[in-house]
Amino acid sequence: MAMLYVARNRRRTVLRSMAIFTFFLVTLTGCSKAPVSLTSAQFLESLDRGSGNFDRVLKICFSEPLKDTYYHKVAIVTKENVKILGGGFLKPLASDPTSKCHLRNVYSYINKDSPVEARQLIKDYVVGGNVSQVLIQVYNDKPKGKELPIAEKLFRNL
């Protein structure tokens, strides 16, 4: 009887260990996202059809289409030293899953820390040929502290 009890305990211990190992293995491999690589950035002005809401669009291109959701930060500096800082989530494109490029409305980067006249500054100064640099940083998730980006690129003279 004692031998049967020991065998059952040993079997439970082995099964528990296997379950815990499997859980950690799935957790570690399931949370990783594919690496991304930024290839280009460009400002488009011809997407607006008269509404005025899409007259400033940033086209961000990657080496491969995105397969996961990422967070990105953007710092735009014009030749007149107007700075626009913002960010947001980049999701895989449902409408075109093979596209390597994402279109982002520059006005969507306006936030509580932006200057009061940010919309007019974007309209006046964030145009193709007038942007001295754009820094794009991509993160796995929205950064909460001093996390390092998984991809980062500085584009000049756009």
**What digits encode the pLDDT tens for the residues 5-32?**
544 556 566 556 554 554 444 444 445 7
In the prediction, which pLDDT does 41 show?
94
Burial 77-107 (b: 16+ CB within 10 A, else e): bbeeebebbbbeebeeeeeeeeeeebebbbb
As a whole number of angstroms, the distance between CA 9 and CA 157 comes to 69
Give me the residue spans of the domains in the chain. Answer: 1-32, 38-156
User: Which of 25-29, 79-83, 100-104, 112-116 is predicted with the least confidence, judged by mean pLDDT?
Assistant: 25-29
Q: How far lies 62's CA from each of 30, 49, 55, 117, in Å?
A: 23, 26, 23, 31
pLDDT tens string 23-73: 444 444 445 788 999 999 998 877 766 666 778 899 999 999 999 999 999
* Whole-prediction pTM: 0.75
For the segment 101-123, the average pLDDT, to the nearest whole number, is 91
CA 132 – CA 79 distance, rounded (Å) = 5
- How far apart (Å, rounded) are the C-alpha atoms in residues 9 and 126? 69
CATH code of the region 38-156: 2.60.40
